[in-house]
Copies of this chain bind each other. A is one copy, B any other.
Amino acid sequence: MTEKYQQLVSHLSEVHNINMAGAVLGWDQQTQMPPGGAEARAVQLATLSRIGHEMFTGDETARLLEDAAGELDGADYDSNEASMVRVVQQDYAELTKLPADFVAEQTRVTALAHEVWAKARANNDFKSFQSALERILELARQQADYLGYTDHPYDALLDQYERGITTAQVKEIFDGHKPQLVELIAAISHNADKVSDAVLHQEFDVDSQRQFATDVVTAYGFDFTRGRQDVAVHPFCTHFSHNDVRLTTRFHNDFLNPALFGLMHEAGHGMYEQGIGDSLEGTPLASGTSLGVHESQSRMWENLVGRSREFWTWALPRLKAIFPSQLGNVDLDTFYKAINKVQRSYIRVEADEATYNLHIMLRFELETAMLAGTLQPADLPEAWNELFESYFGVTPPTDTLGVLQDIHWSAGLMGYFPTYALGNLLSVQYFNKAIQQHPSIPDEIAEGKFDTLLNWLRENIHQHGRKFTSDELTRRVTGESIQSRDYIQYLQTKFGEIYGL
């Protein structure tokens, strides 16, 4: 009955296997590979990328898609079969626009640029990265031209990470809460001395940090028999199957936050991948549906759970037992405020909830300007610093703490940043809905129980993989599209209480 559909899935699985092999090579590159391996790895990734691209964009895919679509005519929109054909038709339309040689060149350039960026960042030397960035920008413009757009070349890039959303929509969402953010941060800055995070800046043994953070994400529900955790300069989560999900984090021996909240964050991504339905395994639908929705999961476990008073009611005694000399005398209120201290930090990944979206708005503004050609890479450090000053009232002292901090541009990921901010908004929308349906969730969190929340997420979000778009999913789950109302309300309530505004 579904013979042609099975042929399609079998073909797509081969492509998927090639892509997953590429993901293994990428993970290894960032966590294990010795420096000497970089050059060969770049060409290996280029070959996999080209072959995967050719296999997927070949005529056979079109033919199999057409045959399967005919066979499945009238199938339920929500079924795996109809979703597979629908989503893969869109993928196919998008990817057939990019010539194989272009994709291979982009892969080659970015693989090499990674090393250049890492050195430039280490040496605070933007100039040494500039020409790589110029080439990457050139390729990004070319990519937008290949993909096509009506209003802004940035639309084409954005669509790859958050299908269906436009630059104008993002601008509207951002403009819709930027003033409240700036106002909130200004109000907080007048009460800045009400909160100290000194307790977090002490000597914390790295192995003990690892143990505690691992215990926390295990309690959350991340399954280490189907995943692992390693160290990476720029933490990320990747997967080669919903049964093989890799988290990474980095440790500071004098600051608790990066490893602890970083691992909660990556575990949020990881549990999303681990929760994809079995029936989608090995297919192109076996992944989170968009970067924004993915980020909603990581931010939820990092912030809405991990930075809540309820969570630390349960966790603080445990953390104290591991670091008695550093934290033995710290009470819950002091600790809760410390981990929620709002700071005009230079570094996005260390940013608190209140300032985070401003970091993204800055990048969005610079990226769209570069794409539009109104900002040149040579002028980027200055533009970065000026904008930073206008948003945060301070200027980064070095490019390492400014324009060079993120890996994304070196990896060719233009149009990616906005999804972080969209994820923040979605995290609160989803969390509010979960609590509305299960009001016991906050009390359970205070007892170290996370399964009601995780099961709700699995049921409503994770299992579907890529079957629905971000907007489809959000409307199904919450009854409305993405909005900034819930997020701003959450921030105003939480930080109003903490800072006594």
The residues of A with any CB-CB pair to B shorter than 8 Å are 13-14, 17-18, 20-22, 24-25, 28, 32-37, 39-41, 43-44, 46-48, 51, 223-228, 240-241, 243-244, 281-282
Contact = CB atoms under 8 A, between A and B. Distances in A.
B37 A226 contact: yes
A37 B240 contact: yes
A354 to B, nearest CB: 36
A20 B32 CA distance: 16
Given A24-B25, A25-B24, A48-B17, A37 B282 contact: no
B18 A240 contact: no
Contacts of A36: 223, 225-227, 241, 243-244
Contact of A17 (B14, B37, B44): B44
A238 to B, nearest CB: 12
A376 B400 CA distance: 70
Contacts of A18: 47-48, 51
A112 to B, nearest CB: 14
A47 B34 contact: no
A240 to B, nearest CB: 6
A44 B34 CA distance: 24
A44 to B, nearest CB: 5
24 contacts: A17-B43, A17-B47, A17-B48, A18-B47, A18-B48, A18-B51, A20-B40, A21-B21, A24-B25, A24-B44, A33-B244, A34-B224, A34-B244, A35-B226, A36-B241, A36-B243, A36-B244, A37-B226, A39-B241, A40-B240, A40-B241, A40-B282, A41-B240, A43-B282
Contacts of A41: 240-241, 244
A226 B35 CA distance: 6
Q: Majority SS of interface residues in chain A?
A: helix
A24 B34 contact: no
A243 B44 contact: no
A91 B35 CA distance: 31
Contacts of A13: 43, 47
A28 B241 CA distance: 14
A224 B34 CA distance: 7
A32 B240 CA distance: 13
Residue from A22, A28, A37, A240 with most neighbouring chain B CB atoms (10 Å): A37
Contacts of A24: 21, 24-25, 28, 44
Nearest to A14: B47
Contacts of A226: 34-37
Going nearest first, the 6 A-B pairs with the smallest beta carbon separation are A37-B244, A40-B241, A36-B226, A36-B243, A17-B47, A17-B44
A489 to B, nearest CB: 39
- Which of A25, A28, A44 has the most B CB atoms < 10 Å from its CB? A44
Nearest to A228: B34
B227 A44 contact: no
B25 A244 contact: no
Contacts of A228: 32, 34
A25 B32 CA distance: 13
Contacts of A22: 21
B21 A25 contact: yes
A213 to B, nearest CB: 17
A217 to B, nearest CB: 14
A136 to B, nearest CB: 23
Contacts of A241: 36-37, 39-41
Given A39-B241, A43-B13, A244-B40, A48 B21 contact: yes
Given A18-B47, A21-B44, A34-B244, 12 more contacts: A13-B47, A20-B40, A21-B25, A24-B28, A32-B32, A34-B243, A37-B226, A37-B240, A40-B241, A40-B282, A43-B282, A44-B240
Nearest to A19: B44
Contacts of A244: 33-34, 36-37, 40-41
A457 B25 CA distance: 31
Given A47-B17, A51-B18, A281 B34 contact: no
A79 B13 CA distance: 42
Given A13-B43, A21-B21, A282-B43, A243 B48 contact: no
B225 A35 contact: yes
A41 B244 CA distance: 9
Given A25-B24, A243-B40, A281-B40, A225 B34 contact: yes
Contacts of A51: 14, 18, 51
